[in-house]
Amino acid sequence: MPRMTMIEAIRDAHGVKMAEDDNVVVFGEDVGYFGGVFRCTAGLQERFGKSRCFDAPINESGIVGTAIGMAAFGLRPVVEMQFADYVYPAYDQIVSEAARLRYRSAGDFTCPLVVRMPTGGGIFGGQTHSQSPEALFTHVSGLKTVVPSNPYDAKGLLIAAIEDNDPVIFLEPKRLYNGPFDGDHDKPVTPWSKHPLGEVPDGRYIVPLGKGAIRREGAALTVLAYGTMVHVAEAAAEMVGIDAEIVDLRTLMPLDLDLIEASVKKTGRCLVVHEATLTSGFGAELVAVVADACFYHLEAPIVRVAGWDTPYPHAQEWDYFPGQARIGGAMKRVMEG
Active-site residue list: 129
User: DSSP strand E in 186-228: where?
Assistant: 213-216, 221-225
Q: What are the phi and psi torsion angles at 253 (to 5°)?
A: -145, 110
Burial class (CB in 10 A: 0-12, 13-18, 19+), 188: exposed
Q: What are the phi and psi torsion angles at 114 (to 5°)?
A: -115, 125
Cβ contact 334:264 at 8 Å: no
> Which one, of 300, 301, 289, lies nearest residue 261 by Cα?
289
Q: Count of CB atoms within 10 A of residue 268's CB? A: 16
Q: Cis peptide leading into 180, omega within 30 of 0?
A: no
Q: What are the phi and psi torsion angles at 251 (to 5°)?
A: -115, 125
Where on the phi/psi map is residue 48: left (φ > 0), alpha (ψ -120 to 50), or beta?
alpha
